Chains A and B, each alone.
Chain A
């Protein structure tokens, strides 16, 4: 039983309470993903991500916090692309990037249960990116300041990163915090779907679903029990917050 005004260890409405109710997570249905890249650009627009230009892009230095993977399978004419797979920071509970950081720039947030990158701590060792089995950390090899007046579109809620700093998906932390604070101020709990990431918001097919893993009634919790569900590189024991639903057939799909 919860005390009045409390939910578990959390006092609702207390702004100094850093712990939080929520554990955020995502489910990506690869059977619905059309590879359209709307999530990729939505992420870049939301998070002030730099573009790097053709040469650096060719060296694999693009700053895509989210990219879409696909692989060729078979030989013409029996050839196809594997289901599109949007890949972003998996927000592992046991994140391989965290213990290798010498300056505690890659840390875990107790509140959101996400993996954070503290830009002003980062000294650019790139150990975290080398240790990330999902290759979703992006390093600022240069200062990629865009020419005026392009910076006008920069989001004031999100830091602009500079050279020598590692960055990655934050699960649109600025959105989560704003929504959490608002709900907290109103003395209530966030409803499912009240806050979603930019990629989930843009996704034309609704393949990306974002929500609370700690809420057993949330859409993500339901989808995680689907027979097609899998986490990437499960054998590494990283306990990702993102679950993928296998594409290509309805075998195992929850009714």
Chain B
């Protein structure tokens, strides 16, 4: 009997057959594969020669990551990480990658100039010989106390040289500062270490081997101390040495990039991080059944919960997580240190490490080793209070010549500090800036230093590696313009002055000074060894620095650290506005020196995806109440100043707070930076914390609508529906 085939079945079968035929006859995707012929190579298939690689050090932030720069035909092409350097082990951050756009920036100052009238941008060219004579006269004709140096946080060798120069001149020591000190508060951290452990050493947090980490405001992956090192440590922690995935908890008022990556984010009331850390200590001690140490006598869960806004149940739950961890770690940083009670916060958080019993254990708290290179010189920057002293001296007319290198104080310092008006009182300002930034435009002479990739030097890295690391700079390309190393200028002036000064600083040039400073390393056992300094220097260049072969971390003495009661006073705030002001360092622009690099401008912010501008973050629901939409321009008013910025309705920020990134808002600094965004430093109060660092989360501001709109360029709008 023949089988009946319905019309439907017939069409179905025919369709399947047609589809199969399409595949078999080669009309399917297989036909899209091509076979390339040798003579039709795309440009990508040719390469023009071999590259030469030079090891050096990144100068975009103070962390001192090792880099290897690929060059071809004398041009630097690509920054790659130095796989041997124990800080970053071959990795880089976004800022390091774009360092080339500083080297080849179209707005560089190309030769030494005298500015005809400050801020006029009318320059007359001078020769380098004349420049050296100007420096020589400034050093020679002023009284020692009338000369002042202001230096940035990189590079270290210049700071060391200027420190020696100031001693020889019997001038006050150089002031060293930068926005990285404001937002990282290294001095607060080191003072807390000193008070708890009587140790004059910087802490090292072994994030890699911890299994539970509580971060109190530390922006580990953005800018804090050594972000690439912390990122690597975090990856190791998440992977888990023992197979258990590490758990990261972030206490911060706003969801930062680190908080976004963390497993839990707790939006604490600003300034209550210290209290949360203390109550956490008390709860952990109770859970463990041990006697509650004296340190935690004054704290109660109820008070902490109501002050911080973290529910008591959450506190209890988190304390359980911390107490049951095998290697718990607590890290203070960022906004916790930048509160008016920042020193107490640092102590309370470090005390948590003591309580956890992780001192000197894997995954715990260690003391960084002291550097063998000129250990007598300070490695940490100055505090804001010390910077303020300099500003007062300038204001009083006591400073006749101010040398500025590696810092842009007019931009980076809080406007309320009055640096700009004080600068106007200084008769002679000599800047070594590579770019026409806000400060160098107020200088009489601009004697441009090389950029980082054209320079010699070293950086005594701190906080990132578990051992001594001296990252080395060397020029990866010949200087692109008629620039000269600042160290060479100073040494040439010293030689020209002669006498005792020349005897005290008997160096021909920068390289000789670097070599002399590194002499102490030759006899030490390190990543490489050399019989004498010449070979040592050759290898130092080849490997991009020197570091120990083994970790060299000391254990803090924490026996009595918890015996004294710790306090957590209420943080105080200036101003009477409705909102706490939460400034944070832009993960992309850092201290603002990244803003003149166009690719950094076009790199989206990790949390908001905004490019090329500043914004002000306002809680989504709060914005609804206030009738604010995205891109509405609002005026932000603090007792110290006001700025205008576009609103970004941010879902993850406290409703009583607004946040503004620091890094944009340049009024100079080249075509890519100038006139872009706003600088929140104009709003800061000058409150300092217990360690004399700036309390940058200590201002309350109010908002005013302007009725205008300025659209922010964001990456995310592209990913949604067009025109959304």
- Shortest beta-carbon distance from B92 to chain A in Å: 5
Known contacts A58-B713, A110-B35: A204-B602 contact under CB 8 Å: no
Q: Which residue of A lies closest to B48 (CB)?
A: A156
In Å, the complex CA distance between A72 and B255 comes to: 11
9 nearest CB pairs, A to B: A60-B718, A58-B713, A205-B235, A204-B231, A54-B612, A250-B245, A81-B260, A41-B97, A34-B221
A152 within 8 A of B: yes
Residues of A within 8 A of B238 (CB): 31-32, 205
A205/B34 contact (C-beta < 8 A), A174-B47, A255-B243 known:
no
Judge whether A192 is part of the interface by a CB distance below 8 angstroms: no
Q: Is the CB of B260 within 8 A of A173?
A: no
**A-side contacts of B43, CB under 8 Å:** 157-159
Q: Interface residues, chain B, CB within 8 Å of chain A? A: 29, 32-38, 42-49, 72-73, 75-81, 88, 90-98, 100-101, 103-106, 221-222, 227-228, 231-232, 234-235, 238-240, 243-245, 255, 257-258, 260-261, 263, 265, 267, 480, 587-588, 598-604, 606-607, 609, 611-613, 619-621, 651-653, 655, 676, 711-715, 717-719, 722
Partner of B78, one of A77, A107, A155: A155
Partner of A18 from the list B35, B265, B602 (CB cut-off 8 Å) is: B35
Count CB-based A-B contacts (< 8 Å).
Answer: 259
B260 contacts A70, CB within 8 Å?
Answer: yes
Contact A35 B257 (CB under 8 A): yes
Q: CB within 8 A of A44: which of B46, B243, B245, B599?
A: B599
Given A58-B713, A99-B29, A202-B91: A79 and B44 interface contact (C-beta under 8 Å): no
Complex interface: chain A residues within 8 A of B261 (CB): 33-35, 84
Which residues on B sit within 8 Å (CB–CB) of A80?
255, 260, 265, 652
Determine the residue in chain B with the shortest Cβ distance to A201: B80
Is A111 positioned at the interface, with any CB of B under 8 Å from its CB? yes
- Residue from A41, A148, A202 with most neighbouring chain B CB atoms (10 Å): A41
Beyond known contacts A31-B245, A60-B717, A81-B607: 5 more, CB 8 A cutoff: A35-B260, A45-B100, A107-B32, A205-B232, A205-B238
Q: If A34-B257, A38-B97, A81-B260 touch, does A150 touch B44 (CB 8 Å cutoff)?
A: no
Answer whether residue A108 sits at the interface, using C-beta atoms and an 8 A cutoff.
yes
Q: Which residues of B contact A149 (CB under 8 A)?
A: 104, 106, 480
A250 contacts which chain B residues (CB < 8 A)? 240, 244-245
Question: Is A206 positioned at the interface, with any CB of B under 8 Å from its CB?
Answer: yes
Interface pair B94/A38, CB less than 8 Å apart? yes
Complex contact B94–A173 (CB within 8 A): no
Tell me whether A94 is interfacial, beta carbon within 8 Å: yes
Given A57-B611, A68-B604, A202-B81, A45 and B651 contact (CB-CB distance below 8 Å): no
Q: Which residues of A are found within 8 Å of B101, using beta-carbon distances?
A: 150, 153
The contact of A157 among B47, B480, B599, by CB within 8 Å, is: B47
Structural contact, B652 and A153, CB atoms closer than 8 A: no
Assess the A201–B81 pair: CB atoms within 8 A: yes
Instruction: Check if A36 sits within 8 Å of B38, measured CB to CB.
Output: no
Inside 8 A of B90's CB, which chain A residues have their CB? 201
Min distance, Cβ B692 to any Cβ of chain A, angstroms: 31
Nearest B-chain residue to A87, judged by Cβ: B719
In the complex, A78 Cα to B606 Cα: how many Å? Answer: 20
- Whether B105 lies near A157 (C-beta < 8 A) is no
Pairwise interchain contact B77-A204, C-beta atoms closer than 8 A: no
- State how many angstroms separate the Cβ of B663 from the closest Cβ of chain A: 14
Cβ of A189 < 8 Å from any Cβ of B? Answer: no
Could you say which of A36, A77, A157, A202 contacts B44, with CB atoms under 8 Å apart? Answer: A157
Q: How far is the CA of A201 from the CA of B244 in the complex (A)?
A: 26
**A108 pairs with B32, CB closer than 8 A:** yes
Q: Bound complex: CA of A118 vs CA of B34, how far in Å?
A: 12
Tell whether, in the assembled complex, residue A68 and residue B711 are in contact, meaning their CB atoms are under 8 Å apart.
no
Chain B residues with Cβ below 8 Å from A205 are 231-232, 234-235, 238
CB distance from B605 to the nearest CB of A (A): 9
Do the beta carbons of B91 and A177 come within 8 Å of each other?
no
Q: Do A94 and B29 contact each other (CB < 8 Å), given the known contacts A36-B93, A149-B106, A205-B235? A: yes
Known pairs A67-B715, A205-B235; A158 contacts B36 (CB<8 A) = no
In the bound complex, do residue B92 and residue A72 qualify as a contact, i.e. CB atoms below 8 Å apart? Answer: no
- Asked if B37 and A204 make an inter-chain contact with CB atoms under 8 angstroms apart, the answer reads no
Q: Determine the distance from Cα of A82 to Cα of B480 in the docked complex, in whole angstroms.
A: 44
Q: Is the CB of A203 within 8 A of B91?
A: yes
Contact at B32–A177, with CB atoms within 8 Å? no
B612 and A53 contact, CB distance less than 8 A = yes
Name the residue of chain A whose CB is nearest to the CB of B622: A76
B47, A177: Cβ atoms under 8 Å?
Answer: yes
Question: Which chain A positions have C-beta within 8 A of B75?
Answer: 152-153
Residue picked from A15, A62, A104, A204, most chain B C-beta under 10 Å: A204
Complex: A106 Cα to B88 Cα, angstroms: 38
Q: A72-B651, A118-B42, A174-B47 are in contact. Are A45 and B599 (CB under 8 A)?
A: yes
* Nearest residue, chain B, Cβ from A238: B29
Residues of A within 8 A of B48 (CB): 156-157
Contacts of A31 in B (CB 8 A): 238, 245
Among B243, B588, B713, the most chain A Cβ lie within 10 Å of the Cβ of B713
> Are A150 and B106 interface neighbours, CB within 8 A?
yes
Find the A residue at minimum CB distance from B72: A156
- Whether A148 contacts B106 by the Cβ 8 Å rule is yes
CB-CB under 8 A from B722, the residues of chain A are: 60
Contact across chains for B231 and A34 when beta carbons are under 8 A apart: yes
Could you give, for residues 203-230 of chain A, a 1 whenever the CB lies within 8 Å of some chain B CB and a 0 otherwise? 1111100000000000000000000000
Q: Which of A58, A99, A201, A248 contacts B712 (CB 8 A)?
A: A58
- A contact residues around B78 at 8 Å (CB): 45-46, 155, 198
Measured CB to CB, the nearest residue on chain A to B27 is A99
A4 interface residue (CB < 8 Å to B): no
Q: A37 to B603, Cβ gap below 8 A?
A: yes
Contacts of A116 in B (CB 8 A): 42
Contact call B600/A158, Cβ cutoff below 8 A: no
Report A168-183 CB contacts with B as 1/0, cut-off 8 Å: 0010011001100000
